[in-house]
Amino acid sequence: MGLLAVFGVLAVAGLIWLWPTGSEVSAALNKIADAPGVTYEQARIESVADGCESSVETPTGAAACLTATVTVTTGEDEGRQAAVELSGANVHNGLRAGDVIEIARVPTGDGVHYAFSGINRLPVLITLAALFTVATLLVARWRGLFALVGLVIAGWVLLGFMLPAIIVGKPGMAVALSGSTVIMFIVLYVAHGVSMRTSAALAGTLLGLAVTTTLGMLAVGAARLSGFADENEYDLAQLAPGINFQELLMVGIIIGGLGVLNDVTITQASAVWELRAAAPGWTRLQVFTAGMRIGRDHIASTIYTIVFAYAGTALTVLLLLYFTTRSPIDLFGLELFAGEGVRTFASAIGLILSVPITTGIAALTVGPGREAVEAPKHGAGAEPGAVGAPSGEAPQQHE
């Protein structure tokens, strides 16, 4: 507990030292500005027709653009009808009459021009968030409520500290490590309470995070990764030239590993405590051995989670592999794939090693079972198997 307190103090000190000032954030974000007079309004689609005045047909004859007739529902032009062109990906959104979209109102020399800006997806997201909250509270009850509170606070640390600090050019690794440590303290202690069990899980999480960070740094350097995988990085470099993109890649590895590490370590710590309660006569080695059997099952299932989570998010890119004449092995050496490979493998190795680390810490710190304390070690009162049960065997219970 004392060592964890030291790490906690250092993380909070890092948070205070690295926290960006309002002027720093404003100076960085002022680089992004709309044209003078541009406002964003809501509009309801009345009808959608094929083609646009400025569009051409695709080689297959299908329209490359749609024209939506909309009624403006907010702002000074409320009630006014206008034509808005939908092109590119927006042709395939399935927009139809009755949908609400966001449009940009752009003043011009001869009047006002309206351009498509986005779709109002907020109602869908709010509904899903509400269902998520209800499901969490119904199943996990008070523990779920505390988990949601911890999630909100962790989100505040991420959005209020880590991202702005990176944007203004603070050291990415220091931001990631201090912010991630604070997040883990908050999430674990708020959701699971302050106890030796939670502290064992937290210690395992931080050590697993250290393994992930170390491996990630070595791999990023050895693979000569720049952090520029696609056009998003180049766009960000134009807007925030102070960002070190190699460090940004490492920040992504650290943040990406938090959730899975938290899941594994708290499960392992809880398993050790339950094993001690069920078999109070076991030695710490026997508790560790039994806990590792649980951990191996957890590792097997969690590895699938990591790999398939990446496959799901990168499905479009993976499909493109089928349309190239180059060997897939050669393509996996490109930064787009190699960066994700480093991220996945570093996180997976940290996750795997966190299982024995957490199980060992928990086995060393879990208190002795009540029966083990009260039962005599020798003499007629001691039941066979009550103390020092065979490895992997629960003590025999006699009626």
Nearest to 268 by CA among 211, 351, 333: 351
d(CA 373, CA 350): 36
Which of 109 and 114 is assigned the larger pLDDT?
A: 114
pLDDT over threshold 90, residue 375? no
What strands lie across the sheet with 111-119, from one edge to the other?
Answer: 81-87, 65-72, 39-50, 100-108, 111-119
Residue 259, CA distances (Å) to 101, 154, 176, 343 in order:
34, 11, 14, 14
d(CA 178, CA 11): 4
pLDDT over threshold 90, residue 361? yes
pLDDT at 148: 93
pLDDT at 330: 78
Domains of the chain: 39-120 (2.40.50), 129-373 (1.20.1640)
The residue-averaged pLDDT of 231-246 equals: 85
The 8-class DSSP code of residue 387 comes to S
DSSP letters along 164-218, please?
Answer: HHHHTT--HHHHHHHHHHHHHHHHHHHHH-SSHHHHHHHHHHHHHHHHHHHHHHH
What is the tens place of the pLDDT at every residue in 15-43? 999 999 888 888 777 666 666 788 889 99
pLDDT at 57: 53
The owner of tokens 């960070």 is 213
The residue-averaged pLDDT of 194-208 equals: 93
pLDDT at 163: 93
pLDDT at 155: 92
Tokens representing 85 are 């062109």
CB atoms within 10 A of CB 72: 20
pLDDT at 376: 38
